[in-house]
Structure formats: structure tokens, C-alpha cells
Amino acid sequence: MSTITIIPGAERQLRNHTSAAQTLRNSLAMAYRGLLKIKRTPEQLMDVTLQPILFTLMFTVLFGGAVAGDTTSYLPLLIPGILVQTVITTSVVTGTQLREDMDKGVFDRFKSLPIARIAPLAGALLADTVRYAIATTLTFGMGYVLGFRPEAGIGAVVLAGLLVIVCSWAISWIFAFLGVIARSASSVQGISMIVLFPLTFLSNAFVPVDTLPGWLQGFVNVNPVSHLVSAVRDLVNDGVFGLDMVTSLVGAAVIVAVFAPLTVRAYMRKA
Amino acid sequence: MDTTNDWAIEAHDLVKTFGTHRAVDGVDLQVKTGTVYGVLGPNGAGKTTTISMLATLLRPDGGQARIFGHDVVAEAQVVRQLIGVTAQFASVDEKLSATENLVIFSRLLGLGRQESRRKAGELLEEFGLAEAARRPLAKFSGGMRRRLDLAASLIAQPPLIFLDEPTTGLDPRTRTQMWETIRRLIASGSTVLLTTQMLDEADQLASRIAVIDRGKVVAEGTPDELKATVGSSSLQLRVQDPADLPTSLGIIQRVLGIAGTISPEAARITAPMTGVDRVTDLLLELRAAGIALTEMSVQKPTLDEVFLGITGHSAEPTNPANDTAPTRINA
């Protein structure tokens, strides 16, 4: 320390304003931190690795015969459904981890640093897209192993994967909001599951809609998850960019438009 | 920009309320640039809350504070560029290694990839953590964690550093190492505000001390000035029969020329003293008066004595019985 000369506080040129470039830099640094944490605690990836493999296998074998006659003809219906369900479920972690982080001492240090206030939040949301990518890849991979051969080819599969990642990222804002306002990580987990189960299961993800009672069909048809599942099916099975895709993207945009300001406001009050 | 060179910290009438509890109740602090300032007080006195407001972590409910002339509320982002904070509870990432922690903080502070690595390496070397650089923090001892925490506060070479109880919970050897580190920090020209519960620590490191109690500054001055109020050492007496207390106090007053206080748990007399050798005279007088003692010792004054001396009550924060003046004797 003897070699370091401290520049006196009064002689420094400082600004009380954070530029957009700095905000981006800080957010990327926080995303890098998120990735490092994933690397250091690979057990955190259990949900995005085991769930796609296990669920795809279980659902195919369990429902394949009953729903579609045999497992192979169930796959084009199931894989898009399970993909959407898995990746959306993964986005809950954004909320729980954000809550855990905010309760820790390290968050106090972030608050005392001259960084963009939004960076820890933006970084977390950014790093989690990697988790979605892993879950997406594994689900398609498992589908392939079970005999799923998408009609529309690899390009459509990649596009469908991106669509699911974008939509899940949008939905993760809901869970980030819960994470910011909730008292504990376990309560975030609890509330999120209550939101999530009806959304993912009361959809067309696993069964054809016309097998459902009329009153339920009404809900299933407006459920944004159904539209996303249909969009993925259209894309990978027929190579079609349908109306469902537009609906999904608009839905995602609406979620971000509503929850991003809410989350940021609640977050800034605490940051 | 209107900045002053003289004051690193100017706080005036700072208030922070949690519910109905006034954690900080009108604190004034003035810290000269380039000095070490000690804030001394028991648990719950409002030390951490005060630091949190000065370091922009908490918004004050009343009063103002300026860091090198910049308001902590209006110019929070400027203030953050001037300070380093080492909190009481290690504010580093448990799941990452020491190097990774420092690299991330460096990157956040705008250093490039290479520069961040170099800086992290330098600081780890400086703080004797180079060997543990790649180990996960879960395996770090309390002292290592504190050192890493301090290292993280120094990345940007801030001119003002807050150290919140830097040695609480450390063993004596590690504490001495930490003091050594803090002294070198001071030598580099930084201004340091440190909180502590130990008079000895404030005495060792700080050039001025504020004693804080229940959210208020109750005394302020150089360590010598403060010690003068409590004496350089402290006499502790316990008499066998509580009825002898008034007589004993009289004898102490006569022989040593100082007023003793009866501590809250009663039957124990504490008196500040300057000359240890005069204890002999006192003991002889007490024996002549036929007062039997159960305990007698001469100690360095503790925080408790400073409190007794300054505030008239003991340092334990939450005991309402402390409100009664301990010098009153109901014999």
C-alpha cells in the first residue's frame, strides 16, 4: 500500500450520473458473475438438466399410448409442450435467486459501488437465458433420442428454441418482481409454483384441447402458454410462422411492458 | 463545484427511525481529511446505521451529511465513487473464489479484463491471501474473510474508507494483523472511519473518537481527552457487606481524590484512577475502617467504564434499569 498514492477526494472529477454505456457494462459484468456462480455451483443446474430428460421420458411413456396411440406419434405433440413447460418452470429460479442475493451481504457492497442501480437485476435476468438455452437443447436432444424427427428441419428447431427462450425471459420478469417484493426465497418459490402450475398444465401442452370439458377449453384457449406451445408445434412440425407466434411475441412484450417497470420500481426502492 | 479540502465527512443532526425506534437520533460528526476517526459504542448504539447513511446504503430520515463536500442523498453516485465500505458482515460472494470476487468488483468499477486480473492478484498478495486465491470462500477463516472484504473495498483506491467493526469476532493474533493492515492503509493517505466496541482499538488506531450511545454522540475528542474522563486505569472493588458502600465511597474520595460509582449490579465500586501505587494507601484505610473486601482489581478502562464515566450508565444497550442514576445509594 505504501506505493499507492490516494488522490484526494476534493480533487477528483466526478459525475452524479450513470451513462447508458456504463449501465450496459455493469449489467454485463453482473451477468458474468451469474455465469461464474452457475459454473461454481453446477448442482444449481439440476432443474434445467434432469427435468427435461426425466419429464420427456416419463410423459412419453406414460401418455404416449393413451393420447396418440403410440409413443412415436405422441412426440410431435409432446416435445413442444414439454419444452415450453420446462423452460418456463426454469424461469422461476430468477426470482428465488434474486431474493437470496438481495438478502446477502454482497448486495450491500453492490449498493455502495458507483454502478448503475439496475445492473444486479439486469445481470441476473441476462445470465438466466443461459439456463433456458441449456433446458431447450436438452429437451430437443431427449426428443431426438426417443425418435422425434421434426419435419421442418434444424433451422425451424433453432428458431423455435429462440422463441421459447425469449418468451421465458419475458415471463421471468414476473418472477423477478415476486423475488423483489417477497420476504424470503422460499415464499417466492411457493407463490411462483401456484402461478405456474395452472398456467403450464391447463394448456394444450400435453393433451389435445378437444378432449377437455367446454369450460376448461375456454381458459386453455386464452392461456398464453397454449399459444406458445402451438407456435412451437407449427414451427417444428410444419415450418409455419402462424398467428400463434405473433400472439406469443405480443404476449411476451405485454408482460415485459407491465412487469419490467413494476420490478424496476420496487427494486430501486430497495437498491 | 463547491468542495472543501478539510472535511472528509461532515454530518449534521443525522436521524434514522425504524418504526418507533430512533436508531440514530441526531448524530453530528466531523472527520478531517487524512485522519482516522473512531466511533465507539456498544451493540445497538447506532454505529452501523450511521455508517450505512454516510455510505449511501440507507437514506437519512433527517439531517444532512456530506462526503468531501458532496451530499449523500443528492449526489449519492458521486459519494459512491469516493468511498470504500467494509461492512460488519462480510460482503463478498460465498460461492466464488477470492480472485473471482475481486475480479467481478474490479469489472464493475470499470477496469478491463486484464487489469482486473492484475488488480485482484496485487490485492491478494498485499493482504496475504495469494495462496488461498483459488479456494472457495467457504473454507476461509474469519480473519481471511475480513481481509478479503477490506481488499475489495480498496480496488478503486477510495479516499475515504468505512470499516464497520473490522476486528469483532477475530482472535487476538488476527486482530493484531488487522490493525497492522489498517495502519498501512492510513499511511497511504486514506481517511478512515472505523467503528468498534473496544476502547483499546479506538485508542490504538484513531486520532479522534466519538462515543455514541442510543443514537447520540455523548462524547467526542482525542483518545487522551476521553481517557482523562475515565482515568488511565480503573479500580474495581467489591465489598462483603453492601451497607459498607457509602463509607467505602467516602474513603475513596478522601484517599484518591476521585468519585467512585456503584455499578448497576450493585456492591461493586468502580473508580477511575491515575496512580496505581496509591491503591496501597486505600487498602490500608479500608482495613482501618473495618471494611471487608471480596474482590479488588486494577484494570485498563473498558468501554463500560467509559460509558459509566460519560453517560452515567453501563454500556449494555437494552436494560431499562440503566436509566436510574447508578450513583444514587439507597442504603
CB-based contact B78 A26, cutoff 8 Å: no
Please answer whether residues B97 and A35 qualify as being in contact, where contact means their C-beta atoms are separated by less than 8 angstroms. no
Count of beta carbons in the 10 Å neighbourhood of residue B205? 24
- B176-190 pLDDT, tens digit per residue, is 888 888 888 888 888
Give chain A positions within 8 Å (CB) of B77.
Answer: 15-18, 114
pLDDT in tens, B260-301: 888 766 678 888 777 777 888 888 888 888 888 888 888 776
Is the CB of B33 less than 8 angstroms away from the CB of A110? Answer: no
Nearest CA among A62, A88, A52 for reference residue A223: A88
pTM of the model: 0.78
Q: Which three cell numbers stand for residue A53?
A: 430428460
Cell match 485482484: residue?
B120
What is the rounded average pLDDT of the residues B3-13? Answer: 82
Q: Is A169 exposed, middle or buried (0-12, 13-18, 19+ CB in 10 A)?
A: buried
Nearest Cβ partner of B83 from A2, A8, A112? A112
Residue B53 pLDDT class (50, 70, 90 cuts): very high
How confident is the model at residue A2, as a pLDDT?
A: 41
What phi and psi, each to the nearest 5 degrees, are found at residue B161? -125, 130
User: CA–CA separation, A210 vs A224, rounded Å?
Assistant: 17
Write out pLDDT tens, residues A178-231. 999 988 888 888 988 888 888 888 999 888 888 889 899 999 998 889 999 999
Query: Residues near A194 by Cβ (< 8 Å), separated by ≥ 6?
Result: none
Q: Which residues of A touch B100 (CB under 8 A)?
A: 36, 40
Q: What is the average pLDDT across A77-98?
A: 90
pLDDT at B72 over 50: yes
B108 at A interface, C-beta within 8 A: yes
The pLDDT mean for chain A works out to 88
The whole-number pLDDT of residue B244 equals 85
Decide: helix, strand or coil at residue B13.
strand
Runs of H (alpha helix) within A70-118: 71-90, 92-103, 105-112
Average pLDDT of the segment spanning A130-159: 91
Predicted confidence (pLDDT) per residue in A95-125, tens digit: 988 898 888 888 888 988 999 988 989 999 9
Distances (CA, A) of A214 to A97, A218, A228, A249, B222: 39, 7, 21, 27, 82
**Residue B83 scores a pLDDT above 60:** yes
Burial class (CB in 10 A: 0-12, 13-18, 19+), B206: buried
What's the angle, vertex CA B281, arms to CA B276 and CA B285, rounded to 5? 135
Report the alpha-carbon distance of residue B79 to residue B81 in Å, rounded: 5
